Amino acid sequence: MDTKKRTVKTGFIEALPLAIAIAAYGLSYGVLATQANLSLASTIAMSLLVFSGSVQMVTVAMLASGATFTSVLFTSVLLNLRNLLYGAALAEGFAPAKKKWRWLLSFGVSDEPFVLGSARFQKHGPDPLYFGIVASTFYVAWIISSYIGAFIGGQIDPLKWGLDLAFPVTFVALLIPSLKEKPIIATALTAIIIATALEYLIPGNELTIIITGVLSPLVGLYLKRRSRDD
Amino acid sequence: MINNWILIGLLSVSTYLSRVIGVEFMSGREMNPTLRMYFNYVPIAIISALIVNQILTPADGEIVISFPILIGCLATAITIKIINMFLPSVVIGIAIGILTRYFL
């Protein structure tokens, strides 16, 4: 019992700083979703059911720019492919839990829980409870902040407050801190070049995002392999 | 409206599947490291493309650069590089974008 309590406490304390960061994203997501004309109910429902910052942000950005259903879905599948890796890497840490609990824990598999969970499993071995506490803390932070964001976003005049700037600026703030390794920087630069070229060639076409998302990582991959072969 | 709800439903199913498949079926199998790296770079590419998409807006069949958005983005990039804090950088970027729109 005592170790369980300690795990709950540790999980919560370690999740808290990241939960605040997640709440900041959640707030932006809520505001952006109202910009994409999503109702308050569907904005919250998406946070409750999908619980994925990148999928939800990209979805509302694409909806706001008038993308079709199919291209939104395809892009989200592409974004979700990395969850396969996270899940595979975390599976051993979930192993002591019963199947039904593993299926519940799976819902929490995404970027931030993966980082905390895999660090914990490496140090202390499998610990499903820890992961559950971390993911639940993030879930609560994500839902409350989405609600507040959607509420604020619906109350104010978007152009006057520069809310149309919120999308691109939020994405820049998400992107810049991750540009650390050369292959990642090369992927981003390639994406900018391809997307710009595609927009100039065929203005306003919605394949831009998908084509760019599929092709640009190849350049990063090439650089990564070359640096390893040297 | 109904379309949005169907989309939310499909997104939640596909996202959950990607999670549970990873945990239940991919565990114990070694994934090709090249493929792993590719997936890691995909979000970077998509986010970059979305930024470009917002800066370049189509008008009458041609592409126009939105300077308030471009300058706002640059301001955010510089700010987050210096102070490394998410929300303040977003707020500064938006403020500078609004000022650009006002004075341009």
Supply the DSSP string of A36-96, one letter for each residue: TT--HHHHHHHHHHT--HHHHHHHHHHHHTT--HHHHHHHHHHHHHHHHHHHHHHHHHHTT
Torsion sign (Cα): B80, B82, B87, B90: negative
A166-175 and B67-83 helices cross at what angle (nearest 10)?
A: 30
Decide if A165 touches B, using CB distance below 8 A: yes
Domain parsing of chain A, residue ranges: 1-174, 179-229
Alpha-carbon span A161 to A190, nearest angstrom? 32
Report which DSSP code applies to A205. -
Dihedral of CA atoms B26, B29, B30, B36 in degrees, nearest 10, equals -10
Mutate to test the interface with A, among B1, B3, B5, B11 (most CBs of A within 10 A): B11
pLDDT in tens, B10-64: 999 999 999 999 899 877 667 688 888 887 888 889 889 989 988 998 777 788 9
Decide if B83 touches A, using CB distance below 8 A: no
Question: From the list B41, B47, B97, which residue is nearest A174 (CB)?
Answer: B47
Alpha-carbon span A49 to A53, nearest angstrom? 12
The b-or-e profile of A34-60 (16+ CB within 10 A means b, else e) is bbbebebebbbbbbebbbbbbbbbbbb
Output the tens digit of pLDDT for each of chain A's 230 residues. 588 999 999 999 888 888 887 888 898 899 989 988 999 999 999 999 999 998 999 999 999 888 888 999 999 999 898 888 788 888 889 989 999 999 999 999 988 898 889 889 888 899 999 999 999 999 999 999 999 999 998 887 666 677 778 778 888 988 998 899 999 999 999 999 999 999 999 887 778 888 998 999 999 999 999 987 76
Structure tokens at B17: 């599947």
ipTM of the predicted structure?
0.86
Alpha-carbon distances, residue A167 vs A162, A171, A228, B7 (angstroms): 10, 6, 36, 20
Q: How far is B73 from chain A (nearest CA, A)?
A: 5
Q: Which residue in A57, A69, A41 sits closest to B3, CA to CA?
A: A69
Task: Report the amino acid identity of residue B8.
Answer: I
- CB spacing of A84 vs B40 below 8 angstroms: no
Q: How far is B33 from chain A (nearest CA, A)?
A: 10
Task: Report the amino acid identity of residue A61.
Answer: A
Question: From the list A82, A195, A215, which residue is nearest B52 (CB)?
Answer: A195
Q: Which residue of A has its CA nearest to B100?
A: A162
Q: How far is A152 from chain B (nearest CA, A)?
A: 15
- CB spacing of A216 vs B45 below 8 angstroms: yes
Task: Report the amino acid identity of residue B46.
Answer: I
Contact A143, A47 (CB under 8 A): yes
| Residue pointed to by tokens 């989200």 | A76
**Which chain B residues in 36-65 lie under 8 Å from chain A, judged by CB atoms?**
36-56, 58, 61-63
Q: How far is A153 from chain B (nearest CA, A)?
A: 15
Q: How far is B93 from chain A (nearest CA, A)?
A: 6
Decide if B5 touches A, using CB distance below 8 A: yes
Q: Which residue in A5, A54, A47, A55 sits closest to A140, CA to CA?
A: A47
